[in-house]
Amino acid sequence: MKFSIYDRQRSGRMVMIAVSAIAVIIFLLVSNNLVKELAQQERERMDIWAQATERIAEAGIDSDIEFMLAIISQNNSIPVLTCDRDFNISEFRNFSLPDKNDKEKSLFMDLGEKNRKYLSSRLKKAAGGKTIEDLVGTNPHFIEIKYTGGEKQYIYYEDSNLLRNISIYPYIQMIVMIILTMIIYMAVIYTKRAEQNRVWAGLSKETAHQLGTPISSLMAWTEYLQAIGTDKEVTDEIDKDVKRLSVIADRFSKIGSLPEIELDYLNEVVVNSLEYMKSRISGKVKISMHLSEEDHGVSVSRPLIEWVMENLTKNAVDAMQGEGELHITTGADKGNVWIEVRDTGKGIAKKNFKTIFNPGYTTKRRGWGLGLTLVKRIIEEYHGGRIYVKESEIGKGTTFRIELRDASGQ
């Protein structure tokens, strides 16, 4: 079994995804810790701000309150307001008000009606229907100030713009990293695919070229054998094989360049391709064709489509180990025509539905694993169609489906 390389590739991708996920998690954890630390620092600043407010309110005539005033005035970033137990606001700082005419004011009573409603609704929304006593001690954004004589006021503050931006920034950075990674990945895939295309084209042209010389020589030898009276049955069989080699060389030449696409008929192409295979597969394989009543037109290169059908048929026979049932079905649906090749072989694991089309993938002891890769290239790149594993069950069989554009205007 020669698919260990794809198992390693899959494992490598999983490891890369796991490492990336761990890196993202660590990055988010570190960022969240920084946000928590900054939030704690703002809470401590507000505690100090509340203490300064309390001391100013209780300061005597001879008290030096300049230090406390300096503490209060240094808060130029954290939105904060004071209110009573009924959420009546007395003063505020650093809120962005909808009516900019009041941007220099700090007393609630000096504000216009629009701004007063704005601050009141913002405070009540933060309270969430709870009483002020319930919020103090449970919500870190509400702080209680106790004055001499039992009078109380409450401070409500919000996260600063800096803290909000820092809390959002890691997610923005993560999205940017994902987008950049996807762009790089797509660029690498495009470059790799273009390189593979060049290799395919060069290899196919060289193969067709190398086959050309011995085919010409075999044709000449066939004519010579006929001329010297060799048994006609023998020379006819040799001639058939030489013509078959010519067809193969022609197919490789078409793979190496853009093939000529012509209007053809689906059922006719399918029948012709299977006629050749019937005499070359085990008699224990029962082939059933279920062709659509109307033979729909398709724009195809017949030699390449016949090659596709031969590859799928051969793979199906190999999967059944030379004994079973092979069903070929054609039809049309929503502007497309389709061919289904269903066998009663060993089946394909769902995880390998896409892997089987990769170059080099094979479960055979002998083989290069290029058959389905060629099939996919012919259908999707040269004919703009689609081929995929429609369904498969281990031990019961597999169904391949080919979809092409309907050129008959049906």
Highest mean pLDDT among 19-28, 53-62, 79-88, 175-184: 79-88
**Quick check: 52 and 74 in contact, CB under 8 A?**
no
Question: What average pLDDT score do residues 122-136 get?
Answer: 91
Per-residue DSSP letter, 379: I
The tokens of 382 are what? 């040269």
Question: What average pLDDT score do residues 210-216 get?
Answer: 78
Question: What average pLDDT score do residues 258-276 get?
Answer: 85
Question: What average pLDDT score do residues 40-49 get?
Answer: 86
pLDDT bin (cut points 50, 70, 90) of residue 135 is: very high
**Quick check: 292 and 340 in contact, CB under 8 A?**
no
**Quick check: 363 and 280 in contact, CB under 8 A?**
no
Instruction: Note the pLDDT tens digit of each residue in 336-391.
Output: 899 999 999 999 988 888 888 877 666 665 555 567 888 888 898 888 899 999 99
Please give the helix or strand (H or E) that residue 351 lies within, else none.
Answer: none
Instruction: Note the pLDDT tens digit of each residue in 305-329.
Output: 888 998 899 888 888 988 899 999 9
pLDDT value for 4: 47
For residues 118 and 201, the model is more confident at 118
> How many whole angstroms separate alpha carbon 80 and alpha carbon 45?
11
Please give the helix or strand (H or E) that residue 177 lies within, else none.
Answer: helix 161-227
> How many whole angstroms separate alpha carbon 165 and alpha carbon 162?
5
> How many whole angstroms separate alpha carbon 97 and alpha carbon 99?
5
> How many whole angstroms separate alpha carbon 133 and alpha carbon 127?
11
pLDDT at 238 over 80: yes
Average pLDDT, the chain: 82
pLDDT bin (cut points 50, 70, 90) of residue 81 is: very high
For residues 10 and 214, the model is more confident at 214
Instruction: Note the pLDDT tens digit of each residue in 160-174.
Output: 888 888 888 878 878
Token pair 């995880």: residue: 351
Question: What average pLDDT score do residues 232-238 get?
Answer: 83
**Which segments within 36-141 are labelled E, that is strand?**
80-83, 89-93
Cα Rg of the chain (Å, integer)? 39
208-217, 297-306, 362-371: range with lowest mean pLDDT? 362-371
Q: How far is CA 23 from CA 16, 17, 182, in A?
A: 10, 10, 17
Q: DSSP secondary structure string, 343-386?
A: E-SS---GGGTTGGGSTT---SSS--S-HHHHHHIIIIIISS-E
pLDDT at 3 over 50: no
pLDDT value for 176: 82
**Quick check: 251 and 370 in contact, CB under 8 A?**
no
Question: What average pLDDT score do residues 386-400 get?
Answer: 92
pTM of full prediction above 0.85:
no
For residues 4 and 15, the model is more confident at 15
Highest mean pLDDT among 155-164, 296-305, 396-405: 396-405
